[in-house]
Amino acid sequence: MAYDVVGLGCACLDFLGIVPHLPDQDEQVWMSDSTQQGGGMVSTALVTLSRLGASTAFVGKIGDDMAGRVVKEEFNLYEVDSEHLVMELGASTSVSMILVDESTGQRTIMAGGSAVELLPSEVPAEMVASAKYLHLDNTNRQASLAAARLARDSGVPVVLDADTMSPPGDLEDLLRLTDYLIASKVFAKELTGLADPSAAAKALSCYGSTVTVVTLGEEGSYTLAGGRSFHTPAYSVDVVDTTGAGDVYHGAFIFGLLRGWKLEKTANFASAVAAVSCTRLGGRAGIPTLDEAVSFLRARDVEHFDFEDGAQDRNG
């Protein structure tokens, strides 16, 4: 079967809790809410796409442990194909412990697990070549490069979530194979040395992406395409937890690309879907369905959001 979006990247398990304040050593605090949810940049973007109604498949490697089984179960729950999710014997799945400070909304994150990378030979070539989009993140570099080359040879556009903690080796090769580069402001600044998002996007676009986006948290996002640029504000919502907002933004952005929407509308939609996801604890619990996203937009932006205008309004 040909999928709308094939994603290759990391999958992990997040444990999240809301605490009145960060505990001191030997102190115990009571969590007012807690949850466990799958996470990871590409994984959560695929869950977003699936919630919105696109067909998706995840490719990656995790451990054959309890966390790995939960990750797999969640892909099934959200109807993300996980036939090419490799569960490696003896490896441990990446796990994050995330404490959300109730008074400030700030997050403290502890992450661990053994880095099990997918091998280039484990990339399902046919699945990648037949997808409408390939979505990648900073992980599994060699397999990502192999998949990106396959995609380029087959005319499949590559979307990259360029976030922090990227291993520098081969990074430029991956950027050169990227068509839609959506970077966090931290990554953009780290790589280009430029704090100004418009200058950073311009520098990033030199690697050859046709569309370059820098996301700016609650300050929205900045898009550059073919010499044209614009800012998209973030939507103001009652934020509970911003975990996964960037991942969700990527998924919703790709949904707009699949629909052939103009870039302004695509970025606006991504901003709305990401904002809604911030209203619940965890990276996935708050991801809206398409109907919920459209209701949110119509309630706030009814003049500008015409959901029905579809494939005819191509990017540009």
C-alpha distances out from residue 144 to 12, 91, 103, 296, Å: 17, 20, 39, 35
Q: Is residue 12 within a helix (H) or strand (E), and if so which, with residue range? A: strand 12-19
> Do the beta carbons of residue 47 and residue 287 sit within 8 Å?
yes
Q: Which of 163, 225, 252, 288: binder of Mg ion (CB under 5 A)?
A: 163
Residue 221 engages ligand ATP in binding (rule: CB under 6 A): yes
Could you tell me the two tokens for 92?
């441990």
> Do the beta carbons of residue 266 and residue 315 sit within 8 Å?
yes
Q: How far is the CB of 179 from ligand ATP (least distance, A)?
A: 19
Stretch that binds ligand ATP, among 63-71, 96-104, 114-122, 244-252 (CB under 6 A): 244-252
Q: Considering the complex, state which of residue 65 and residue 163 has its C-beta at the smaller distance from ligand ATP.
A: 163
Give the list of residues 6+ apart from residue 78 with CB closer than 8 angstroms, or none.
46, 47, 50, 51, 284
Over the window 245 to 274, marking each residue x when it contacts Mg ion by CB under 5 A and - when it does not, the resulting string is -x----------------------------
Binds 215, which of Mg ion, ligand ATP, none (CB < 5 to 8 A, cut-off by type)?
ligand ATP
Q: Considering the complex, state which of residue 55 and residue 246 has its C-beta at the smaller distance from ligand ATP.
A: 246
C-beta neighbour count of 228 within 10 angstroms: 10
Give the list of residues 6+ apart from residue 232 with CB closer than 8 angstroms, or none.
220, 221, 222, 223, 264, 267, 268, 270, 271
Q: How many of the chain's residues bind ligand ATP (CB under 6 A)?
A: 22
Q: Kindly identify the residues of this chain, within the stretch 22-41, that bind ligand ATP according to CB under 6 A.
A: none
Residues that bind ligand ATP (CB under 6 A): 163, 184, 215-218, 220-221, 234-235, 237, 239, 242, 244-247, 249, 271, 274-275, 278
Residues that bind Mg ion (CB under 5 A): 163, 184, 246
